[in-house]
Amino acid sequence: MSVTKEIRYTTKPECADENARLIREVFAELAREQPDGLQYSAFRLADGVSFLHVAVLDTEDNPLTASAAFGEFQSDIEARIADGPVQSDATVVGSYRPFG
C-alpha cells in the first residue's frame, strides 16, 4: 500500500531561486539513480516563493533518505524558509496521467 505525503512551505524571497535550484538537483539525481518505490513532484507556486512537494512512497523506506542531493536540499532549509514546512498525509481519490 502506498503512502502519499504533501509538504508546503514558503521561502524567504531572496532564497526562492536557490531553493528551486536545489530541488532541480534532487530531480537530476533521481533521474540518474531511478530509485524504485517513489513518485515525486515539486511545484513552485504562482507567488514565486511558495513550494509544494508531493511524494508517493510504495516502500517502507523512503528512497529520498539515501539521496545526497536531497540531503543537501534539507541541510539548510531552515535558513531558506519563512513559513512552514507543513506536512500532511493524503489519500489518492483519483488520478489521471500522474505528473511525469
Domain boundaries, the chain: 3-90
In angstroms, the CA 83 to CA 61 distance is 27
φ, ψ dihedrals at 41, nearest 5°: -135, 145
Half-sphere CA count of 4, side-chain side, radius 13 A: 11
pLDDT in tens, 14-57: 999 999 999 999 999 999 999 999 999 999 999 999 999 999 99
- Can you give the pTM of this predicted structure? 0.91
pLDDT for 86: 96
Domain with residues 3-90, CATH architecture: 2-Layer Sandwich (3.30)
